[in-house]
Amino acid sequence: MRIDHPNEEGVGEILVKGPNVMQGYYKRPRATAEVIVDGWYRTGDLGHLDAKGYLTIRGRVKNLIVTPNGKNVYPEEVENELLKSPFVAEVMVYGHKLNDTSEEVHAIIYPDQEALDNHVRQTGCPALNEADVKELIRQEVLEVGNRLADYKRIKRFTLRDDEFPKTTTRKIKRYVVEADIPASR
């Protein structure tokens, strides 16, 4: 295993090689040539090796967000921080294109209705309307931003009314959600 073209943090694409790695895609030589280069399988995962040789996966190559100042943001890292909020049931962080070479960090959030209902009961405040929910989530986003580097902070978010479409392993189908995101927001 090795890290291909690591950046200043040592993060790059994870490549693997060995008898346990596939030989290629069945009857798909072009697809095989894209992922197996000089015997190394390009996993599509981003990661780094620590001083002891332990691998930490940071995200996926295709999900990487490059900010206007050239910094890399791993959406999964920001998502994991947001999911610590009791009011966030699901979240997808993505790069909103500013131009051909840079993106801004945006998020789509599906609020946790049960947590919101509990909040109303515990605080004794009246039922939350859409603006109240958006403000509560905005405060959570700002709090998460305080724990992250400036360039990783969410610049804009939208709320979702229903759960995200998911794979059988319960991972958000990013490609389905991204297809519904308008080009200019």
Domain boundaries, the chain: 2-61, 64-179
* Integer angstrom CA distances of residue 64 from 34, 55, 72, 163: 19, 18, 7, 23
For domain 2-61, the CATH architecture is Roll (2.30)
Threshold 0.85, pTM exceeds: no
In this structure, is the dihedral angle defined by the CA atoms of residues 52, 55, 61 and 65, taken in order, positive or negative?
negative
Per-residue confidence (pLDDT) for residue 69, from 0 to 100: 87
pLDDT at 166 over 90: yes
For residue 43, the model assigns a pLDDT of 96
How do residues 118-133 score in pLDDT, each as one tens digit?
999 998 888 899 999 9
What is the maximal distance between C-alpha atoms in the chain?
A: 64
- The yes-or-no verdict on residue 168 having pLDDT over 50 is yes
> Which two tokens mark 37?
């280069």
What value does the mean pLDDT of the chain take?
93
What pLDDT shows up at residue 185? 44
Q: Would residue 143 be called left, alpha or beta, if left means φ above 0 and alpha means ψ between -120 and 50 degrees?
A: alpha
| Structure confidence at residue 163 (pLDDT) | 95
2-61 matches 64-179 in fold: no
Q: What is the pLDDT of residues 15-45, one digit of tens each?
A: 999 999 999 999 999 999 999 999 999 999 9
- Give pLDDT tens digits for 126-164: 889 999 999 999 999 999 999 999 999 999 999 999 999
Query: Can you give the pLDDT at residue 183?
Result: 63
Nearest to 91 by CA among 104, 99, 100, 82: 82
CATH class entry, domain 64-179: alpha beta
Q: What is the tens place of the pLDDT at every residue in 36-81? A: 999 999 999 999 999 999 999 998 999 999 898 888 999 999 999 9
Q: Is the pLDDT of residue 97 over 90?
A: no
> In Å, what is the CA distance from 28 to each residue of 24, 32, 62?
8, 6, 21
Summarised one tens digit per residue, pLDDT across range 99-119 is: 888 899 999 999 999 999 999
